[in-house]
Amino acid sequence: MPEKVAIIGGGLSGLVLARNLDDSSKVTVFEKSSGVAGRMATRVVGSFEFDHGAQFFTARSETFKNFLLPYLEKETVVAWNPKVVTLEEGKKPYKRPWFETHYIAQPRMTSLVKALGAPVDIRLNTKIDEVFKQDNSWSLKSAGKTIGEGFDWLISSAPGNQAFEIFNKSGITLKGLDEVEYSPCFALMVGLYSELSLGFDAAVVKNSPIKWIAANSTKYGRRKEKALVIHSCNKWAFEQMNEELPHVQSLLENELFKLTDVSAKDVSCVDMARWRYAKVERESPQGVQIDRHQRVAVCGDWCRGNRVEDAYLSGVNLSERLRLELDR
């Protein structure tokens, strides 16, 4: 009989792991949000859509390049070649070259992870608060209710801090989880009435609370309605993290108006997102971890670095190690 595996987190690393174990185990993924993808996220507001998490990704390892091949053939993944500039208030913008291929999923950034997770048993809107051992197997609780039991293995692919909170509460100790450090980010999403020309598709911003502006609607496969995604710089976001979102929104909007030709009269809709675990500043010194005695494990980009590719490789690495355990 195949062993039952519970995976907490429906981002790229968790679903790569689920797919790689699917032929030898019965895998269930528990995701707290209404959809999979983690930071490869897209939000729809009216007629506008915003890739408000990861903006793009690169591929440097042969393993990740080979993984992408079928998705490139189907155009679920495409190269993105935007006009990128550097912006700074009071200074003339200048072109910023990119020296490697940058990829996006289409028609939305979520599309790659959704395609990967299509065959997987995924329980959405299920935030795991607690896990516990019962009859030598793992059970999981959400909102005080047991929503899954009888699992042979328990795995977290959630951000390291969240994995630490869940495991520590349940008396599970894994080295390095409490050493992972993140910096936050705010995402301002702006839908425009007009076809206002920005003069760029994406911009890296200097000496500003804003670090990135992208015309999301210029990406391949997107809706035509002009949609801007604005990311704050991480240090500024840390200083503003406990402020109310309307206040942060106002500050970022005003900064956008100063940096570009966008004005309040051009704005059709505005939305905000707070990313508490936006950038991995310090990864786990132990990398992916597996405890065969407790039958628990962890993976995620934070085990290796900060990039989408790191998330993928982490899931692959853990799946290879788990296969050895499952074959014992």
* pTM of the model as a whole: 0.95
Q: Is the dihedral of CA 93, 95, 100, 103 positive or negative?
A: positive
Residues 228-254 pLDDT 10s? 999 999 999 999 999 999 999 999 999
Residues 6+ apart with CB under 8 A from 224: 217
Residues 6+ apart with CB under 8 A from 299: 13, 14, 17, 155, 156, 157, 288, 314, 315, 317, 318
Q: Does the structure show a pLDDT above 90 at 220? A: yes
Q: Does the structure show a pLDDT above 80 at 2? A: no
- Could you count the other beta carbons within 10 Å of the beta carbon of residue 109? 27
Residue of 160 and 1 predicted with greater confidence: 160
Contact 308, 12 (CB under 8 A): yes
Alpha-carbon distance of 118 to 121, in angstroms, equals 8
Q: Is the dihedral of CA 150, 154, 158, 163 positive or negative?
A: positive
- Could you count the other beta carbons within 10 Å of the beta carbon of residue 90? 7
Residue boundaries of the structural domains of the chain: 1-32+126-179+283-328, 39-109+181-281
Residues 139-193 pLDDT 10s? 999 999 999 999 999 999 999 999 999 999 889 988 888 899 999 999 999 999 9
Beta strand pairing call for 84-87 and 202-205? parallel
User: Which residues does residue 289 pair with via DSSP β-bridges, in sequence order?
Assistant: 298
According to CATH, the superfamily of the domain at 1-32+126-179+283-328 is FAD/NAD(P)-binding domain (3.50.50.60)
Q: What type of residue sits at position 280?
A: V
How far, CA to CA in Å, does 219 sit from each of 109, 131, 150, 188, 247?
10, 41, 44, 18, 29
CA–centroid distance for 254 within its chain: 27
> What HEC string does 269-321 produce?
EEEEEEEEEEEEEECCCCCCEEECCCCEEECCHHHCCCCHHHHHHHHHHHHHH
The hierarchical CATH code for the domain 39-109+181-281 is 3.90.660.10
Residue among 294, 312, 326, 293 at smallest CA distance from 66:
312
Average pLDDT (19-41) is 95
Q: What type of residue sits at position 162?
A: Q
For residue 129, which phi and psi values (nearest 5 degrees)?
Answer: -100, -30
pLDDT, position 208 = 98
Residues 187-216 pLDDT 10s? 999 999 987 889 999 999 999 999 999 999
Residue 50, SS3 per DSSP = strand
> 205: which 2 tokens?
């911003």
* pLDDT tier for residue 1 given thresholds of 50, 70 and 90: low
pLDDT, position 256 = 98
- 315: region left, alpha or beta (phi > 0 left; psi from -120 to 50 alpha): alpha
Contact 80, 219 (CB under 8 A): yes
Q: Does the structure show a pLDDT above 90 at 260? A: yes
- Tokens 């590719």 map to which residue? 309
Alpha-carbon distance of 34 to 109, in angstroms, equals 15
Q: What percent of the chain has pLDDT over 90?
A: 90
- Tokens 């994406």 map to which residue? 202
Average pLDDT (45-63) is 97
